[in-house]
Amino acid sequence: MGLVRHLRPGEIVGQVALLRETLELGDRPLSVVFMGMGEPLHNYDATLGAVRLLADPAGFVSRGGASPSPRRASSPRSSAWRGAAAAALAVSLNATTDEVRDRIMP
């Protein structure tokens, strides 16, 4: 089909929200793996934006009212980040030919 466009952060998070709702997961922890029909790091800014939204304890909560200063809210020491899920990078080794693939992934 070819690349039409990259997903935006909200679209990525929307997929997770739909999964949570469909499977009735509630507030149970969920691991999210960015992979599939594309390379998430080719869409780095949107992937990082989605990770930040998913890791934010209030990421799925709509709230109004005053908010702390942007500098304070963005600090790693901010209460908004306490208890947030950790993000990790995993690398999958692969190859373009069966011969090389069999050598590196016996």
Residue 60 has a CB neighbour count (10 Å cut-off) of 13
pTM for this one? Answer: 0.61
Give me the number of domains the chain comprises.
1
Predicted confidence at residue 58, as pLDDT, reads: 72
Whether 4 is in a domain gets the answer no
Whether 37 is in a domain gets the answer yes
Predicted confidence at residue 86, as pLDDT, reads: 63
Predicted confidence at residue 4, as pLDDT, reads: 87
Q: Give dist(CA 61, CA 105) in Å, integer.
A: 42
Whether 23 is in a domain gets the answer yes
pLDDT digit string (tens) for the chain, length 106 residues:
778 899 999 999 999 999 989 999 887 888 888 876 667 888 889 988 898 888 887 766 544 444 444 444 445 554 444 444 567 777 777 788 889 888 887 7
Q: Give dist(CA 77, CA 4) in Å, integer.
A: 39
With a CB cutoff of 8 Å and minimum separation 6, the contacts of 23 are none
Whether 3 is in a domain gets the answer no
Whether 16 is in a domain gets the answer yes
Q: Give dist(CA 63, CA 61) in Å, integer.
A: 6
Contact 54, 47 (CB under 8 A): no
Domain assignment of residue 37, given as a range: 9-61+70-104
- The span from the first CA to the last CA of the chain, in angstroms, equals 31
Whether 14 is in a domain gets the answer yes
Q: What is the DSSP string of 44-95?
A: HHHHHHHHHHHHSTTTT----S----HHHHTSTTSTTTTTPPP---------
